């Protein structure tokens, strides 16, 4: 008997074969590739969540700012068309409200020389205070440090502490009665938030059916897709002939058919005014991401408002 040799089935293996190594590497590569593909998607979703969170917070802050700066006091506002029920405060001057929506919306400006000042203050030139409340306070512009160990310094635009402009807003005041809006009546104060707003692109017109089908009336802006424009959080508006003003709403969901070029949408809240009477022409605020509205009582003249 040969005691120095073990049976074949009792021999111990001293390693793994090349085929097993290749299979293991293949499995590991597939797993790592799948994991790596989740990182950009996760970063994108985290960025969207941050934008929506900031826009919601800033829209609510915008309501308070509008009241603080006097946008709910008719005697502190100058308008170009007193027959329109909606007054728009758009410091970026992106939309020609007075011509495109002359029957329902008009540009509003704060009086240059105070609420109770004597004389006529009819200038419609935007003032620095309007630019201030229309931009995010935590979106500050700064100058890069000149040395490696230096610290960044605040950036100033026209002598005023500047902002990057990533998060901006448009504020609208819509009266509940016949225009012009007057002190003592109730009005709807709306704050529309934008992220990286394209200042050369006006609202995009589209038709809206009773079933929630949105079909574009004009061509998409260059470099834009319907899916990037119609997304949850996008703000739209339409002209309400009953009040000669504008109604705003925010999309809760948008199912886009890229092949046909239309989408089915649902709205968040405002069931009493949205969807509008069908069929209707709506306008899509491109780059919008948030909306906050509040019913306010318009204030009368006060020395505390100067």
> Which whole-number Å values give the CA distances from 179 to 67, 86, 97, 136, in the listed order?
20, 9, 16, 31
Report pLDDT for 121.
Answer: 41
DSSP 8-class letter at 196 = S
CA 67, 71, 73 angle in degrees (round to 5)?
95
The answer to whether 130 and 120 have CB atoms below 8 angstroms apart is no
The answer to whether 163 and 139 have CB atoms below 8 angstroms apart is yes
Q: Which residues, listed in sequence order, are joined to residue 205 by a DSSP beta bridge?
A: 283
Separation of alpha carbons 206 and 204, rounded Å: 7
pTM: 0.74
Label the pairing between strands 142-143 and 105-110.
Answer: unpaired
**pLDDT interval class at 126 (50, 70, 90):** very low
Domain boundaries, the chain: 41-113+121-300
Return the percentage of the chain with pLDDT > 90, whole number: 8
The answer to whether 284 and 212 have CB atoms below 8 angstroms apart is no
The answer to whether 152 and 143 have CB atoms below 8 angstroms apart is yes
Share the mean pLDDT of the chain.
77
Q: Which residues, listed in sequence order, are joined to residue 210 by a DSSP beta bridge?
A: none
- pLDDT tens digit string along 153-198? 766 655 555 555 677 888 999 988 777 788 888 999 999 988 888 7
**pLDDT interval class at 254 (50, 70, 90):** confident
Picking from 87, 126, 121, 75, the residue whose alpha carbon sits closest to that of residue 301 is 75
Cα-based torsion angle of the residue sequence 220, 224, 226, 228 in order, rounded to the nearest 10 degrees? -150
Separation of alpha carbons 187 and 179, rounded Å: 11
pLDDT exceeds 60 at position 262 = yes
Separation of alpha carbons 132 and 139, rounded Å: 11
Q: Which residue has the tokens 């709910």?
A: 72
**pLDDT interval class at 120 (50, 70, 90):** very low
Judged by DSSP in three states, 98 sits in helix
The answer to whether 86 and 176 have CB atoms below 8 angstroms apart is no
The answer to whether 249 and 270 have CB atoms below 8 angstroms apart is yes
pLDDT exceeds 80 at position 38 = no
Of residues 241 and 118, the one with the higher pLDDT is 241
Does a cis peptide bond (omega within 30 degrees of 0) precede residue 49?
no
Separation of alpha carbons 101 and 306, rounded Å: 31
pLDDT exceeds 70 at position 80 = yes
Judged by DSSP in three states, 177 sits in coil
- pLDDT tens digit string along 236-245? 999 888 888 8
Kindly state the helix (H) or strand (E) to which residue 262 belongs, with its residue range.
strand 262-268
Name the token pair of 292: 């906050």
């Amino acid at each position: 008997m040969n005691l120095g040799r073990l049976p074949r089935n009792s021999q111990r293996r001293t390693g793994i074969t090349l085929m097993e190594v290749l299979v293991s590497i293949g499995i590991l590569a597939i797993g790592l590739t799948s994991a790596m593909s989740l990182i950009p998607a996760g970063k994108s979703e985290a960025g969207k969540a941050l934008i929506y969170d900031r826009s919601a917070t800033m829209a609510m802050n915008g309501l308070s700012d509008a009241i603080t700066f006097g946008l709910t006091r008719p005697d502190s506002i100058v308008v170009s068309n007193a027959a329109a029920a909606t007054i728009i405060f758009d410091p970026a001057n992106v939309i020609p409200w007075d011509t495109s929506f002359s029957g329902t919306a008009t540009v509003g400006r704060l009086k240059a020389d105070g609420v109770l000042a004597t004389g006529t203050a009819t200038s419609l030139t935007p003032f620095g205070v309007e630019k201030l409340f229309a931009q995010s306070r935590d979106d500050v512009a700064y100058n890069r440090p000149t040395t490696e160990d230096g610290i960044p310094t605040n950036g100033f635009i026209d002598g005023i502490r500047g902002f990057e402009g990533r998060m901006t807003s448009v504020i609208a005041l819509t009266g509940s009665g016949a225009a012009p809006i007057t002190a003592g009546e109730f009005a709807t104060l709306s704050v529309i938030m934008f992220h990286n707003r394209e200042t050369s692109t006006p609202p995009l017109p589209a038709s809206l059916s009773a079933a929630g089908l949105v079909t574009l009336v004009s061509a998409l802006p260059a470099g834009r897709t319907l899916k990037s424009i119609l997304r949850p959080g996008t703000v739209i508006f339409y002209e309400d002939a009953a009040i000669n003003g504008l109604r705003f709403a925010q999309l809760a969901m948008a199912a886009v058919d890229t092949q046909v070029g239309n989408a089915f949408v649902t709205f968040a809240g405002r069931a009493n005014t949205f969807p509008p009477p069908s069929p209707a022409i709506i306008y899509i605020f491109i780059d919008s991401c948030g909306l906050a509205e509040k019913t306010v009582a318009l204030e009368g003249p006060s020395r505390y408002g100067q």
